[in-house]
Amino acid sequence: MKEQNGFYTLKGYQKNDSADMTSAMEDYLEMICRILQQGETVKVGELSQRLHVKPSSVTKMVQQLTSCGYLHSEKYGLIYLTQKGSKVGKYLLYRHDVLFRFLCILNHSQDELEEAEKIEHFLTPATIHRLDELTKELEITRGKASAELSQKGQMNSIEKRPPP
Ligand code: ZN
CB 57 within 8 A of CB 49: no
CA of 145 to the centre of ligand 1 (A): 29
**Cα–Cα distance for residue pair 90/62, rounded to 1 Å:** 18
CA of 53 to the centre of ligand 1 (A): 16
Set out the domains of the chain in order of their start, with CATH numbers.
10-141 (1.10.10.10)
Nearest C-alpha neighbor of 125 from the set 10, 26, 15: 26
Q: Which pLDDT does position 60 carry in this prediction?
A: 95
With bands split at pLDDT 50, 70 and 90, how would you rate the model's confidence at 1? Answer: very low
- Cβ-Cβ contacts under 8 Å for 142 (sequence gap 6 or more): 105
Is the pLDDT at 19 greater than 80? The verdict is: no
* pLDDT tens for each residue of 103-147: 999 999 888 999 999 999 999 999 999 999 999 999 998 887 777
Is the pLDDT at 32 greater than 90? The verdict is: yes
CA of 117 to the centre of ligand 1 (A): 4
Q: Give the least confident one: 58-62, 77-81, 139-143.
A: 139-143
CA of 2 to the centre of ligand 1 (A): 28
With bands split at pLDDT 50, 70 and 90, how would you rate the model's confidence at 148? Answer: confident
- Cβ-Cβ contacts under 8 Å for 12 (sequence gap 6 or more): none
Q: Which bin fits 117, alpha (ψ -120 to 50), beta or left (φ > 0)?
A: alpha
**Cα–Cα distance for residue pair 32/41, rounded to 1 Å:** 9
CB 123 within 8 A of CB 160: no
Averaged pLDDT, 61-88? 92
pTM for the complete prediction? 0.82
